[in-house]
Amino acid sequence: MRNLLLACCLTLLAGCTTMASRLNGSLTPPPGQAYAIVSLVGKAFDPDRATIGLAVSDAGGRVVAQNAASLITDTVFGEEGMSPVEGKLVLMTLPPGDYRVSGAWGHWSDDGVFGPDLRMRQFPLNAPFHLDAGETVYLGQVLVEMSFLPEVRLGDERRRDFGHMRRVWKVEDLSRVKVRPLAAPAATGH
């Protein structure tokens, strides 16, 4: 058990070190590109058996980025003293342009009468965002709730997520990060 715990800790640290070393203390995107940052988090009765994901589409509707998080291995740590949440702070490198978070999904297991019931739910989204060359934009949080009534909620958790960028990604200067939280377009009534 002790060896398993040590292996898990080393795996988590290796993943964190990889992002920190990749960024080398800066959130400046490569020339001609932009960074989009979104917090992909989830809640489930049994997080050990839950995975979440999201898809980003371009203006033509083509999926250009997908990310997934395991609620057993991925964590957003936040500022010192904050309670961590299950999920992942995602950094996407994209060319400048118009995009939308087009969907999210959850895959989890509930205890059923005859054993585990595997569940998967797709959540269509249409949360637009724009990126200019050279900019880094924080898009907020996509929360996939799988505990009671499955749903997706968009939100702004910049305090927690900026704390994660400082502590785990080792980026001290976040002054150039633009904050433009995702919002689903208002429904139009006829």
Tell me the C-alpha distance between 90 and 51, whole Å.
Answer: 15
Q: What is the DSSP letter of 15?
A: H
* pLDDT value for 17: 52
Greater confidence (16 vs 92) lies with 92
Greater confidence (170 vs 21) lies with 170
* pLDDT value for 15: 46
At 12 the three-state DSSP class reads helix
User: Binning pLDDT at 50, 70 and 90, where does residue 184 land?
Assistant: confident
What sign for the dihedral angle of Cα 78, 17, 68, 127? positive
Q: Is the pLDDT of residue 136 over 70?
A: yes
What does the pLDDT average to over 172-183?
96
Tell me the C-alpha distance between 137 and 91, whole Å.
Answer: 10
* pLDDT value for 149: 85
C-alpha gyration radius of the chain: 17
What does the pLDDT average to over 137-166?
95
* pLDDT value for 186: 59
What does the pLDDT average to over 53-75?
96
pLDDT tens across 70-101, in order? 999 999 999 999 999 999 999 999 999 999 99
**Paired tokens of 89:** 């702070």
Q: Is the pLDDT of residue 1 over 50?
A: no
Greater confidence (45 vs 177) lies with 177
Least confident segment among 46-60, 61-75, 77-91, 112-126: 112-126
Q: Is the pLDDT of residue 4 over 50?
A: no
Tell me the C-alpha distance between 136 and 155, whole Å.
Answer: 18
According to DSSP, the residues that pair with 99 across neighbouring strands are 58, 129
What is the pairing mode between strands 151-155 and 136-145? antiparallel
Side by side, which strands form the sheet with 63-70? 63-70, 50-58, 97-112, 115-131
Q: Is the pLDDT of residue 116 over 90?
A: no
Tell me the C-alpha distance between 105 and 55, whole Å.
Answer: 9
- Contact between 95 and 106 (Cβ < 8 Å): no
Tell me the C-alpha distance between 42 and 149, whole Å.
Answer: 13
User: Binning pLDDT at 50, 70 and 90, where does residue 190 land?
Assistant: very low
User: Binning pLDDT at 50, 70 and 90, where does residue 148 land?
Assistant: confident
Tell me the C-alpha distance between 112 and 183, whole Å.
Answer: 35
